[in-house]
A and B are shown apart, each in its own frame.
Chain A
Amino acid sequence: MPRNMNNQRALAAWRARACAAAVACGAQIFCLGAGIAVPLGLNAAWLCALPAVMLAALLAARARGVRASLGAGRNMERLRALLLCAVMLFSCLLLLAACVSLCTQTLLSHARVIHCAALTLLFILLAAIPRMEGVCRLCFALRLFLPAGLLLCMLTLLPRGAVSGLFPLLGTGAGPVSLGALCMLPAAAPALMLLLPGGEKDAGMLPRPGFFALRAGLGALCGAGLLLLPALFSGYEALRTQSVWGARLRLSAVGGGQKPLWHMALLLTQFAAMTLGACALLCAAEEAFSLAFPRLQRRRSGLLILAALLMAGLRLFSGIGYEAAMYAAPLIALPVPLLLLPAGKRKRKAADR
């Protein structure tokens, strides 16, 4: 096969993967933002999300430089692959928890939480069976439709004078907003899925860091933009009264009530982003798991093991409340230096040689 055709395919594959990372980042920022940033910053929750947007872009650019060394036989590399798997899996769990919380508040208000969780997980698994390729290509196909759909719904639903809801601009103040921003940083973790080597073996065809940073950053920015909705639709006083994660997520999809079809469209677009992000993260977790345990790759045992862990997590948190999962989100940040730094040192050693 000619080299230029190989290059085309590699570029297309990386482009699709970057879109998947963008969708996952955007969805994670929106979900964690509604859970953590809204109670802290109230109507300034979108400000809390901006550092996470920048971090997502930085991580995406950095991940490009250190990839393809995970799981390469040595124990340290296997450990790194396992850590990456854990980060992806926990991010997936958070997205699923948010999805289920929102679903039981809105579309399936009569369903039991555990039913809804199991149903979501089963379909995500079905979508993950064709591996990363399928979900990445789908994310690439929807890369314009998702943000355009969200924007269209927002513009149609916003009442006149909704901009007033953004004031006071700093919300609860610089202190709580900064704390919110700090707590939101783990929402950029999905960008680390670009650490995975992917299907293309030739590092020479890897796009530039800016390629990934741009896409991940834009996706994350869309998620931060969604955090404007609770303020625009409801104002800070209403945000204060919502103590449940699902109720806060719901505030981003209601407003006015005159246009039920547009509400439904906005809600479904949010769900689409969240489920796509969760599926991409699950596939990434499976890939990382396969790097750590190559023998389990053939029979897809990794996927089953991860699915079982996810189900156990959802079951656990459905008993104590999904808010507990949300508060545990900062733990995602712990392995990130381990994932990025050692490979950077190894790259320098290789370059020195």
Chain B
Amino acid sequence: MCGDAIMLCPLLGRNLEILRERLGAPRNADVLIRRFRSGAFESAVVAIDGMVNAERVNENILKPCMELPEQEGESIPPCERVSFLMERAVSVLPMKMKENIDELVADALGGQAVLLCEGCAVGCVMDVRGFEKRTIGRPEAEKVVLGPHESFSESIRTNITLLRRIVQREELTTEFVTAGGAMKTRCALLYLRGTADEEMLTRVRRRILACSYDFPLTTGDVEHLVEEHPLALIPQCVRTERPDRAASFLAEGQIVILTDGSPDALGAPATIWHLLHTPDDATLRWQVGTFLRAIRLIGVTIHLLLPGTYLSILRFHPELLSPMLLTSVYETGSRVPIPVYLEALLMTLAFDLITEAGLRAPGALGNALGIVSGLILGQSAVSADIVSPLLLIVVAASGLGGFCVPNYALSVGLKIAQLFLLTCGALGGFYAMGLCLLALLCAVCAMNSAGSPLTAPLTPKRPGNRDILLRMPMQHQKARAFFAKKHE
């Protein structure tokens, strides 16, 4: 109805006035509103400067409409004028007819152009996006020795295209959902129809749609929406910036979630084994993949348990040390002025500071920082008898083990768990460490990811792909994981 701010009305002027008010024009200089004569009636195009491809708007919308003869469309009922233009003049492929002003505003803000006609209470939204975006680059965090070197970018459409190039199947379905409150973020759910479980899909969709946050969402935010244990130390979904890895998630029956503006994809449900696998395992031979996974597991174990074990032995169980080693530790330890627990905490904190500073320091400075802090500070601390050399080795080995974890979120979670275990080891020895490990493992085993157990298929046992801890040869792997509908 005229004057109704939610739906379009037949008066073009009124519609444009509402849109100007909503978008803040003319103060908002980005808003482009172009009125023109298209045959026998007036029309207008509304778009946001910089978000649309101006050349396509000019060539495919404005020019053909404006070149219509003056009497063209005279006999067309006013409510069908937009459709008439779409059929006879406009040459843009994706388009939708909408009446809701909120949706039209959201589409215009998203980079689409809105075509309105005098006397028609329906507008046409045309996808003529042409904003600047980053080209497809190389993955930063998931580099491989051999294999594809493409990574996702910030454009959701580009990311979908990258996946469709790899997964050329008719079952591949893209569902767009909009998450958020006042500020909406477009997400895409990709899955293989008939392979992904419908119940999981419904669960994921419901969780994303229930979001009402008023800030732009990233993949990390969507991950927090989807996961079932937000306070857990370890993630329950797997993030990747590689299209090939995301494609393998689709084949296994997982749902891949893309978020507009984030250069990575989220795979759900996930298991803890997904967090420990790398693309190198798949691209190299299975023996090499198996070996690398074993190294990684050893690294994780060292990262988690070594500092606590060291403190346990020193404070509670020195009988485990050989006489030579004990004498060495005894002599060096008696010169260090601070308790060994405090020493371990300080060294661990120093290591984390160096790691974090190295990440944040720009370029070459980051490299120099590693050398300065690692070598000079560490050596100086040992020479000044502030720390014992054996503890330095323990902390460094533990840190290296942490770097073996391919998933950054998991490595930070393990780091926090390491601190718990370190405290337990220092205060209660192996007994307290064992009890703490029991509690942690029970919590992890009880966790679910989008309804599937996080530690499956190891526990509980599930049929499906045997590619869990060891990289099995191709002929021993089933294509789909246990959470897919079909396992053949």
Query: A-side interface residues toward B, CB under 8 Å?
Result: 1-2, 5, 8-9, 12-13, 15-16, 103, 107-108, 116, 119-120, 123-124, 126-131, 133-135, 137-138, 140-141, 260-261, 264, 268, 271-272, 275-276, 279
Contacts and interface: CB of A to CB of B under 8 A. Distances in A.
Contacts of B428: 108, 119
16 contacts: A1-B199, A8-B462, A12-B462, A16-B460, A107-B429, A108-B428, A119-B435, A123-B432, A123-B439, A128-B442, A135-B445, A137-B459, A138-B445, A140-B460, A260-B320, A268-B434
Contacts of A123: 432, 435-436, 438-439
Interface in B423-472: 428-432, 434-436, 438-439, 441-447, 453, 455, 458-463
Nearest to A116: B431
Nearest to B451: A1
Contacts of A135: 442, 445
A272 B438 contact: yes
Given A12-B460, A16-B460, A137-B460, A120 B435 contact: yes
Q: Chain B interface: which size bin?
A: 20 to 34
A141 B469 CA distance: 13
B485 interface: yes
Interface of B: 197, 199, 316-317, 319-320, 428-432, 434-436, 438-439, 441-447, 453, 455, 458-463, 482, 485
Nearest to A11: B461
Contacts of B320: 260-261, 264
Given A138-B459, A272-B438, A264 B430 contact: yes
Contacts of B317: 107, 264
B315 to A, nearest CB: 11
Contact of B441 (A1, A16, A124, A138): A138
B485 A2 contact: yes
Contacts of B453: 137
A140 to B, nearest CB: 5
Nearest to B431: A107
Nearest to B321: A260
A279 B438 contact: yes
A264 B321 CA distance: 12
Nearest to B482: A8
A7 to B, nearest CB: 11
A138 B431 contact: no
Contacts of A261: 320
Given A107-B316, A127-B443, A138-B445, 16 more contacts: A5-B485, A9-B460, A12-B461, A13-B460, A16-B459, A107-B431, A108-B431, A123-B438, A126-B439, A126-B443, A130-B445, A135-B445, A140-B459, A271-B431, A271-B434, A272-B438
A141 B459 contact: yes
A127 B442 contact: yes
A138 B434 contact: no
B340 to A, nearest CB: 17
A120 B438 CA distance: 11
B463 A275 contact: no
Contact of A130 (B316, B432, B443, B461): B443
A108 B460 CA distance: 34
Nearest to B461: A12
Nearest to B424: A123
A16 B456 CA distance: 12
B454 to A, nearest CB: 10
Contacts of B445: 130, 133-135, 137-138, 141
A35 B429 CA distance: 26
A96 B445 CA distance: 22
Contacts, number: 99
B460 to A, nearest CB: 4
A280 to B, nearest CB: 10
Of A1, A119, A134, A279, chain B has the most CB atoms within 10 Å of the CB of A134
Best-surrounded residue of B317, B445, B447, B463 (most CB of chain A within 10 A): B445
Most buried by B among A9, A127, A279: A127
A8 B487 CA distance: 12
Nearest to A108: B431
Nearest to B485: A2
A15 B438 contact: no
A13 B432 CA distance: 29
Contacts of A275: 434-435, 438
B458 A141 contact: yes
A238 B320 CA distance: 25
Q: When A and B form their complex, which 3 residue pairs have the shortest distance between CB atoms, in order from nearest?
A: A134-B446, A130-B446, A123-B435
Contacts of A134: 441-446
A1 B463 CA distance: 16
A16 B403 CA distance: 33
A138 B434 CA distance: 14
A137 B455 contact: yes
Contacts of B438: 123-124, 127, 138, 272, 275-276, 279
A89 to B, nearest CB: 19
A116 B438 CA distance: 16
Contacts of A130: 442-443, 445-447
A119 B317 CA distance: 19
A271 B435 CA distance: 9
A2 B455 CA distance: 22
Nearest to A2: B485
Given A12-B460, A16-B459, A140-B459, A272 B434 contact: yes
A1 B197 contact: yes
A127 B437 CA distance: 9
Contacts of A140: 459-461
Contacts of A137: 445-446, 453, 455, 459-460
A128 B441 CA distance: 11
B434 A8 contact: no
B463 to A, nearest CB: 7
A108 B428 CA distance: 8
Contacts of A276: 438
Contacts of A127: 438-439, 442-443
Contacts of A133: 445-446
Contacts of A9: 460
A185 B439 CA distance: 30
Nearest to A15: B461
Contacts of B441: 134, 138
A5 B428 CA distance: 44
Contacts of A141: 445, 455, 458-459
A268 B459 CA distance: 22
Contacts of B463: 8
A279 B428 CA distance: 20
B271 to A, nearest CB: 12
Nearest to A103: B431
A108 B446 contact: no
Nearest to A128: B442
Contacts of B446: 130-131, 133-134, 137
Nearest to B483: A5
A119 B432 contact: yes
A12 B428 CA distance: 35
A140 B436 CA distance: 19
A116 B320 CA distance: 22
A189 B439 CA distance: 24
B106 to A, nearest CB: 36
